[in-house]
Amino acid sequence: MQRGDSYLVNLAFPTLVKTNLRLEEVFVQSEAKFKAYVPGEFVFFSPEKFVDIIEDQVYTYPMKGTIDASQPDAEQQIHKDSKEMAENSTVVDLLRNDLSQISAKVRVNKFRYIERVVSFNKELLQVSSEITG
């Protein structure tokens, strides 16, 4: 990172979860919008659709910025938050660059729009963008 090889890092690490369920059961019972199951290895859940390929177009929908929808003026708060704006702008720029490695025409179709995500017992607002190539 000190050499400038990275602009954005998402810290992730294995988390021990104790349950009587098998991975397949965890996967089946999950209500996540997007999920994956690799038999005997792991399950993965996300409200974010990372990549979609439709005909000759590649789409990506980065999410950066989350707020509890019950907060007063939640949508206005998340849109004017400078930290959230900076994170969203950075990830959009990085993904535009990534898509340009495999696509001739890359564009941001939608920048910083709100998606509603239901999480357990509350609703969240997520700031998303749509990029195609």
Which one, of 21, 15, 89, 103, lies nearest residue 59 by Cα? Answer: 103
| Residue 113, pLDDT score | 94
| Residue 105, pLDDT score | 93
- The Cα-based distances of 51 to 15, 23, 59, 79 in angstroms read 25, 24, 6, 24
Q: What pTM, to 2 d.p., does this model score?
A: 0.76
| Residue 20, pLDDT score | 94
The answer to whether the beta carbons of residues 78 and 84 sit under 8 Å apart is yes
- At 65-74, the pLDDT tens digits run 889 999 999 9
Residue 76 has pLDDT above 90, yes or no: yes
- The Cα-based distances of 97 to 5, 59, 103, 112, 133 in angstroms read 14, 13, 10, 18, 10
| Residue 34, pLDDT score | 87
In the chain, where the domains are located: 48-132
